């Protein structure tokens, strides 16, 4: 039986994200294909396959991050709710439950609104995660506005394949999001610029990030993607001035940790949890491990 799941992003998901690495949206990306051009390319593309069983599936591991491009070079299929460029995967077996996270950035006023379809071993749909169940996330200093969502499943005979595509209904819709100018004003405590929020067009093409992580034997802080800790930064003259002689790395760590945690505290007091998460990411990348764990404890303490 096909069922639809509406995603939520509760505190547990924020804690889950704290154990992950920095946002994949920071990586360089290819030029955006205009929505009208992408739709024309889709309309003229032939259907690659006669059934869900004949889609080109590729394996994905239980701990992997993929950047998926939905372009005129991607395969096309009519899924019954419209033709779409798509990506299809064989889910990892014998690894226990996994968490699947999807991120679709808004770029140049448009985005790819994905529908996720889970198939059983007989290639029959058993679950569907529609695009309108994803949360709109406002822009920060590290990432653009985007759609995000997460769900979990246990791969096996009842959940063996994952297909990501965009339905015709998806592409008829638009998404309201916070502009970068308004985000800047919010973070700086300035007056927000007047006018309505912009609306992103849902395009036939785009790029999304798919992350899969094993949940077996975990306490809920599984990183979405493994990353080696970055090297500690050298102190600048302003950081070391007036500090008692100590090893350089220790002095830098103490000073930067204090500053980051003070800023994170300010973000939490302002109710801006998203900014607090971004600051924790920045601290970790700057060579101060433990900031995410500290923030996770702060968030848990705030739970009623």
What pLDDT digit, counting tens, does each position of 129-188 carry?
A: 999 889 888 776 567 889 998 888 899 999 999 999 999 999 999 998 887 778 777 777
HEC sequence for the chain: CCEECCCCCCHHHHHHHHCCCCCHHHCCCCCCCCHHHHHHHHHHCCCCCCCHHHCCCEECCCEEEEEEEECCCCCEEECCCCEEECEEEECCCCCCCEEEEEEEECECCEECCCEEEEECCCCCEEEEECHHHCEEECCCCCCCCEEEEEEEECCECCECEEEEECCHHHHHCEEECCCHHHHHHHHHCCCCCCCCCCEEEECCCEEEEEEEEECCCCCCCCCCCCCCCCCCCCCCHHHHCCCCCCCHHHHHHHHHHHHHHHHHHHHHHCCCHHHHHHHHHHHHHCCCCCHHHHHHHHHHHHCC
pLDDT computed for residue 255 by the predictor = 39
Q: Is residue 22 part of a domain?
A: yes
Q: Is residue 203 part of a domain?
A: yes
pLDDT computed for residue 119 by the predictor = 97
86 and 164 in contact (C-beta within 8 Å)? yes
pLDDT computed for residue 285 by the predictor = 67
In a shared domain, residues 124 and 76: yes
Q: Is residue 9 part of a domain?
A: yes
Bridge-partner residues for 105, per DSSP? 146
Question: Beta strand 199-202 with 125-129: parallel, antiparallel or unpaired?
Answer: unpaired
HEC sequence for 171-216: HHCEEECCCHHHHHHHHHCCCCCCCCCCEEEECCCEEEEEEEEECC
pLDDT computed for residue 189 by the predictor = 76
d(CA 243, CA 55): 63
d(CA 79, CA 86): 10
284 and 292 in contact (C-beta within 8 Å)? yes
Domain end, chosen from 157, 180, 214, is at 214
Provide the domain count of the chain.
Answer: 2
Bridge-partner residues for 213, per DSSP? 63, 99
Give tens-digit pLDDT for 54-110: 999 999 999 899 999 999 999 999 999 999 999 999 999 887 888 899 999 999 999
Residue 29 pLDDT grade (very low, low, confident, very high; cuts 50, 70, 90): low
In a shared domain, residues 148 and 71: yes
- Full residue range of the structural domain in which residue 295 is found: 237-302
The pTM of this model reads: 0.63
Q: Is residue 246 part of a domain?
A: yes
In a shared domain, residues 281 and 139: no
In a shared domain, residues 70 and 139: yes
In a shared domain, residues 72 and 209: yes
In a shared domain, residues 62 and 183: yes
In a shared domain, residues 18 and 167: yes
Q: Is residue 227 part of a domain?
A: no
d(CA 255, CA 23): 25
In a shared domain, residues 41 and 111: yes
Question: What percentage of the chain has pLDDT greater than the value 90?
Answer: 40
In a shared domain, residues 7 and 149: yes
pLDDT computed for residue 196 by the predictor = 86
Q: Is residue 18 part of a domain?
A: yes
Nearest to 147 by CA among 89, 207, 195, 187: 207
pLDDT computed for residue 287 by the predictor = 66
Q: Is residue 229 part of a domain?
A: no
65 and 101 in contact (C-beta within 8 Å)? no
In a shared domain, residues 102 and 244: no
In a shared domain, residues 115 and 14: yes
In a shared domain, residues 261 and 176: no
Residue 237 pLDDT grade (very low, low, confident, very high; cuts 50, 70, 90): very low
Q: Is residue 183 part of a domain?
A: yes
d(CA 137, CA 113): 14
């Amino acid at each position: 039986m096909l069922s639809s799941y509406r995603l939520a992003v509760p505190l547990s998901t924020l804690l889950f994200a704290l154990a992950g690495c920095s946002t994949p949206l920071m990586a360089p990306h290819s030029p955006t294909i205009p929505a009208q051009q992408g739709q024309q390319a889709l309309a003229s593309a032939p259907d690659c396959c006669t059934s869900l069983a004949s889609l080109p599936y590729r394996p994905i591991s239980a701990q992997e991050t993929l950047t998926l491009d939905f372009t005129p070079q991607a395969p096309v299929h009519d899924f019954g709710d419209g033709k779409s460029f798509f990506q299809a995967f064989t889910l990892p077996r014998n690894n226990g439950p996994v968490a699947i996270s999807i991120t679709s950035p808004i770029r140049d006023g448009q985005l790819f609104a994905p529908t996720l379809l889970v198939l059983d071993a007989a290639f029959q749909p058993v679950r569907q995660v529609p695009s309108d169940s994803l949360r709109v996330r406002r822009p920060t200093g590290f990432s653009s506005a985007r759609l995000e969502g997460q769900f979990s499943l246990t791969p096996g005979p009842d959940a063996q394949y994952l297909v990501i595509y965009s339905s015709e209904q998806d592409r008829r819709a638009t998404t309201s999001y916070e502009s970068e100018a308004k985000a800047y004003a919010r973070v700086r405590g300035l007056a927000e610029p007047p006018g309505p929020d912009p609306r992103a067009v849902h395009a036939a093409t785009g790029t999304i990030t798919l992350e899969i992580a094993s949940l077996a034997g975990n306490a809920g802080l599984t990183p979405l993607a493994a990353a080696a800790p970055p090297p500690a930064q050298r102190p600048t003259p302003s950081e070391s001035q007036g500090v008692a002689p100590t090893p350089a790395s220790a002095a830098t760590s103490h000073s930067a940790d204090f500053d980051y945690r003070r800023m994170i505290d300010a973000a939490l007091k302002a109710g801006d949890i998203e900014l607090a998460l971004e600051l924790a990411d920045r601290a970790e990348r700057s060579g101060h491990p433990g900031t995410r764990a500290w923030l996770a404890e702060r968030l848990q303490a705030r739970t009623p």
